[in-house]
Structures are given as C-alpha cells and as structure tokens.
Amino acid sequence: MSESTIGHVVVPGTFDPVTFGHLDVIRRARRLFPQVSVAVAASVGKNGSGPIFALDERVGMLREALCEQGLEDGVSVLPFSGLLVEFCRELGAGGVVKGLRAMTDFEYELQQADLNSYMAPGLESVFVMSNPKYGYVSSSIVRELASLGTDVGFLVPSCVERHLRDHFRS
C-alpha cells in the first residue's frame, strides 16, 4: 500500500453498551477500509460516572454483537486506555472513524479531530454520517430504557439485550 492510502482505521468508543448505531458505523468503516480495529475505551470517568459494564464485558459484548451481525471479518476488538493517538500509533492505524448523529456530535468530534491532528499529524479523521434510522440511538438512551424494563431489542442486538436484562435484574 502506498503512503497515500489508509489500510487500517480505528473506530473508538465506550460502547456501554454497543448499539445498532455503533454497528452501522463499524460496518461502513469496514466497507471503506480493509482493516478496522474497534477500540473500547476504559472511560472510567465518562459523564461524571463510570460505565455500567466493565471493560472486559464491553469488549466481549462487542465481539458477540459483531459475530451475531456477521461483521467479524476484517474487524478486531481491543480494549484501550490512555490517548487515542498513541493507541493508533501502536497499531499502525492511519485513521480514526467516528459516527456523527447531529451538529452537537460534530462540534465535539471536530475539537477532538483537531487535537488529534496536532498530536499526530499523519492520523486522518473520517466522519461517517449516521444512518437516519439510528440518528436518535445512544448508549445512554439504551441504558435508561433498559433500567426501566423497556424492550430495547430495536436498539441493540439480542446478545446485548440479554446482557442488559441480566445487569438490571441483579
């Protein structure tokens, strides 16, 4: 591959839990790039509190969901903590793919992309617009609905729905 092409990208996120929206971004990244690494962030203090699922649980759920959806070919799932640019450097990834649902996502992601560009000038940021049918889907909405006992099968794969049910029963 020449220097002008990118063969490996990272799709980062907390994935607490993984949703159909996340899987759509991963699917589309895989259509664009031959190798995709999904980076599951430790995110200990995200939004003022930690994730509801441990890092190893989120990695496992994501792997299950990728298998269930037939998306495992060319896609790896790895946990990470620390700086995303360092993780990409370690993997030899040339780009970061992020999904955008709304302007608020864009403003935040643009700031992150600008910072990443400063810290790792060769690392490209690729934004994928959300499929309209997933534009309203977020992990926080899924968690809230699941905590209230609502069916979330229209938002997440069945394996994730099962993990949520088990989590909120205990």
Domains of the chain (ranges; CATH) run: 8-135 (3.40.50.620)
At residue 3, the pLDDT reads 65
Q: Which two tokens stand for residue 51?
A: 């994730």
Residue-level pLDDT at 76: 98
pLDDT at 111 over 70: yes
Catalytic-labelled residue, pool 43, 76, 89, 101: 101
In the set 27, 139, 143, 163, the catalytic residue is 139
pLDDT of residue 142: 97
122-139 b/e (C-beta count within 10 Å ≥ 16 → b): ebbbbebebbeebeebbb
Q: Is 140 a catalytic residue?
A: no
pTM: 0.93
Mean pLDDT of 120-133: 94
DSSP symbol at 125? E
Tokens 């910072």 appear where?
115
Q: At what angle do helices 158-169 and 55-68 cross, to 10 degrees?
A: 150
Q: In sequence order, what DSSP letters do the residues of 93-116 get, joined into one string?
A: --EEEEEE-SHHHHHHHHHHHHHH
Catalytic-role residue among 22, 28, 63, 143 = 22
Cβ–Cβ < 8 Å for 117, 123: yes
Is pLDDT of 96 > 70?
A: yes
Q: Given the structure tokens 């200990």, which residue do they identify?
A: 44
Q: Is 133 a catalytic residue?
A: no
**pLDDT over 70 at 159, yes or no:** yes
Contact call for residues 40 and 1 (beta carbons, < 8 A): no
| 117 assigned to active site | no
Consecutive H or E run containing 39:
strand 35-41
Percent of the chain with pLDDT over 90: 85
- At 45-80, the pLDDT tens digits run 655 578 999 999 999 999 999 999 999 999 999 999
Pick the catalytic residue from 46, 89, 165, 167: 46
Average pLDDT of the residues of the chain? 93
pLDDT at residue number 48: 56
